[in-house]
Chains A and B, each alone.
Chain A
Amino acid sequence: MSEAALPEKPRHTGFLKNNLREYGMMISLFAIMIFFEVVTGGTLLRPLNLTNLVLQNSYIVIMALGMLLVIVTGHIDLSVGSVAGFVGAVAAVLIVKFGLDWITATLLCLLLGAAIGAAQGYWVAYFKIPSFIVTLAGMLVFKGLALAILAGQSVGPFPPAFQKLSSGFIPELVPDAGTLYPTSLAIGALLALALVWQNFRSRARQESHGIETEPYGFFLLKNVVFFAVIVYFAYLIASHRGLPNVLVIMTALVALYGFMTTRTVIGRQIYAVGGNEKAAKLSGIKTERLTFLTFVNMGVLAALAGLIFAARLNTATPKAGLGFELDVIAACFIGGASAYGGVGRVGGAVIGALIMGVMNNGMSILGIGIDYQQVIKGLVLLGAVCLDVYNQKRG
């Protein structure tokens, strides 16, 4: 094709308005963190508590990545909590009862998750049975199966190597470094640098092609804040026991899914299916297959979350995974996903999950009972979505 002159000149007027949603969410998260930091008298951001916060919420974040894709295609998966619990139970039986080595068991469990996702996605994608019903059935089935294979008992403990999946930390390269873990700090700083560098590079590239970018001052401020926040958290984490393995897995997955949804063909096509399935189909997109694959993906991530949760408790209990689906779905909606499909971002879902996590943690520190915690969480979910809808109408 010809090299057309690009009529778009850099314009800043619409930028902040268009991206207010993203930043608004991030600012809410910070506000909530600062609020709890203050009212808990500085307990929230203590290195020990922060590390716990990561460990406690990792499986919600991981499942939210899969759930986001399911919601974007216009579906829902109510079975993820049960599937996570069931897979954890299977892992326990394989490792503890049958003495299978943990690597093989982990791989088998992830495959099992894929198979479960495929079984549910098959009905949703190819038979057009509403996902609400299929996964409601799945929720009951796998909750029941978990009970059955555990025979109502808790099974554990796991071998130490498997526990490391959740409660392990990355090895420290500098011996006898004292209370600060330099390797973790360095990784955090490098990550922050890489992010900032990437931001500058893509901005330069966009500007050279006349693509609309955000105002320079804002961009600079944003990067400084990003850098400072990441380094500060890395510092906090490093002053406890270093980077948890789970955090590494989680960060990698968030980066992978963020890239997949925004930059790849398959990501774009998933959004198209949610935006207008018929138009997507008539544009040559294999809508059924994509829907099917999002459920397979969800199954794998639910299985991974189940393994991490089991490793964290060091035992598989029949009650594991109970109610996870609610937190995961809430995270996606707080993060700006649309219940009608086609809209939602990975960053939003992660922030949504973190908002839920910080609130759980903060309220627990404050000694608020589980009863009122749920009331408050419910209201926050409703409030966040109402605010979002209101903003969209006004915009």
Chain B
Amino acid sequence: MNALLEMRGISKHFTGVKALSGVDLTVAPGEIHALVGENGAGKSTLMKVLSGVHPHGSYEGAILFDSEERRFRDINDSEALGIIIIHQELALIPLMSIAENIFLTDPPARFGIIDRSAVHRRARELLAKVGLDENPDTLVTNIGVGKQQLVEIAKALSKKVRLLILDEPTASLSEKDSAALLDLLLEFKAQGIASILISHKLNEVSRVADRITVLRDGRTVDTMDCSAGAVEEDRIIRSMVDRDLEHRYPKREPTASGTAIGETIFKVRDWSVFHPLHADRQVIRNVDFEVKRGEIVGIAGLMGAGRTEFAMSIFGRSWGQKIAGQVEIEGRPVDLSTVRRAVDAGLAYVTEDRKQLGLLLADDIRKNITLANLPAVAPASVIDDVRELKVAADYRARMRIRSHSVYQETGKLSGGNQQKVVLSKWLFTDPKVLILDEPTRGIDVGAKYEIYCIINELADAGKAVIVISSEMPELIGICDRICVMNEGAFVGEFPGPDCTQEKIMRAIMRHTNRAKEGERP
């Protein structure tokens, strides 16, 4: 069978940097082809070349689609052939309806007047195809991220897609939504639609992919065929990072490293929070929570379990209303009513959304690192630029932030390096208790390992570390203790080494079922 798409020897330079050199990629009709590689390996650049964002002439090499050479001038050219790309950051307009979004560029119209009933009818058909049970008139802002992703796919289907490119489609989805999305890809495959799936989640990749191409430093390093049987995740990781990761998680031996886990230093009592808009909806239900000195505690749970809400409500009441409860740090009750007070009390919260809530993307590394603790580099409120530079350079070296200098804009760093900048910012406040919310979201395997090492070092230095993560293997790999949250309550607790994904899921299911039974006495 002829290949649907063939990219031959693609090379692409940006000023001074070689982003791609001689990359080959072949996609057969009806194939699910996974594209993996560390951040900065060139996956997104390759897809931009394919979709015409980088037009013909700005790269070397050839693109063949249906065995014919194509020279895309812009994204319209590639879309005309049925190559549709869905970016990681969804391109939906929040205050328009689902139907309006689906037919944004090319609505069914007669003489330029939009045929509303046709829009509605066809939107319903497309939504049925992707398995989304929503009214097409619902505003996109009112549905969850998982459903928004499905709307994007419906939008792609409206354009007679032949090759669907998904860039990290499941990065912000719950397990359930991710599974549904992957099933949808398999369904498309049955209909003869090929897809290219870019993902960091290797378990998903090995589940659905027919072939896997690994990119490293702008080159194709390996293409694996999965038809003979699933490819081991370790093999993928090895070719991604070019080193044998004996373990994906660093060794954690709190007693061996000198500082044993100590006394309880962070204590939350009877914490309750209500939804900021719906005052009668209790999101956090009178929970208790404790962390010891030098301990890493994971909070597991599904999307919407209330983990981020719990953390942010503690951190200076940044989320919710009618917040009640007590917090003690090192045995003393502390006032956490504003972010400033929380920081002063020794609390730090590293957000799950580093671009929107964590960084000043237009500012350099230096300014970001000192932002939460400016007085430390500013005697008498005047910034000492030399002292500031030293602090920034010190963290850049310690955290191994890869950049040409501390004057580099954080918006131009890779995800892993951005996360290290955010971590540096909070370490510079010298916190006693650190809450890390999805600390490895959207960053590559190598950088993840480095983040895990940093977390270990923090715990060894006697800090209480709380890790919120949707990736259960990660929690099991790095935590001393895992607390399971569901519907705003803690429903289970396991020592890290003994914990399994099954145990966590069982705890969640048991609680959910009990809650449902409680509703129907």
Interface on A for B, CB 8 Å cutoff? 1-8, 205-206, 209, 211-212, 263-266, 268-269, 271-272, 275-276, 278-286, 342-343
Contacts and interface: CB of A to CB of B under 8 A. Distances in A.
A282 B389 contact: no
A212 B407 contact: yes
A289 to B, nearest CB: 11
Given A2-B394, A3-B390, A264-B378, A282 B339 contact: yes
B393 A1 contact: no
Contacts of A7: 393, 396-397, 405
A6 B371 contact: no
A281 B390 contact: no
A211 B316 CA distance: 36
Nearest to A205: B386
B385 to A, nearest CB: 8
Interface residues of B, number: 41
B367 A283 contact: no
A268 B367 contact: yes
Contacts of B405: 7-8, 212
Given A6-B389, A6-B390, A286-B340, A275 B363 contact: yes
Contact of A280 (B371, B382, B383, B386): B371
A264 B425 contact: no
Contacts of A282: 315-316, 318, 339, 349, 351, 357-358
Given A8-B405, A8-B406, A276 B386 contact: no
B375 A278 contact: no
Nearest to B349: A282
12 contacts: A4-B393, A8-B406, A209-B389, A263-B385, A264-B378, A268-B367, A275-B363, A281-B318, A282-B316, A282-B351, A282-B357, A285-B371
Nearest to B384: A263
A284 B340 CA distance: 4
A-B pairs with lowest CB-CB distance, top 9: A4-B394, A275-B360, A283-B372, A284-B340, A284-B339, A284-B343, A265-B374, A265-B381, A283-B371
Given A268-B367, A283-B339, A283-B371, A343 B362 contact: yes
Contacts of B315: 282
B313 to A, nearest CB: 13
A209 B340 CA distance: 32
B362 A279 contact: no
B391 interface: yes
Interface of B: 315-316, 318, 338-340, 342-343, 349, 351, 356-363, 367, 371-372, 374-375, 378, 381-383, 385-386, 389-391, 393-394, 396-398, 405-407, 425
B425 A283 contact: yes
A279 B356 contact: yes
Contacts of A266: 381
A224 B356 CA distance: 45
Given A206-B385, A286-B338, 16 more contacts: A5-B397, A8-B393, A8-B405, A209-B390, A265-B382, A271-B363, A275-B363, A279-B360, A281-B318, A281-B339, A282-B318, A282-B339, A282-B358, A283-B372, A285-B371, A342-B362
Contacts of B406: 8
Contact of B386 (A211, A272, A278, A279): A211
A269 B358 contact: no
A4 B372 contact: no
A268 B383 contact: yes
A285 B389 CA distance: 21
B371 A4 contact: no
B361 A276 contact: yes
Contacts of B343: 284
A8 B405 CA distance: 6
Nearest to A210: B389
B39 to A, nearest CB: 21
Contacts of B389: 6, 8, 209, 211
A269 B360 CA distance: 11
Contacts of B316: 282, 284
B509 to A, nearest CB: 34
A169 B381 CA distance: 35
Given A279-B359, A282-B357, A265 B383 contact: yes
A374 to B, nearest CB: 33
B185 to A, nearest CB: 34
Nearest to A282: B357
Contacts of A272: 360, 363, 367, 371
A286 B356 CA distance: 17
B286 to A, nearest CB: 25
Nearest to B407: A212
Nearest to B376: A1
Contacts of A283: 339, 371-372, 425
A275 B411 CA distance: 12
A335 B343 CA distance: 37
A272 B425 CA distance: 14
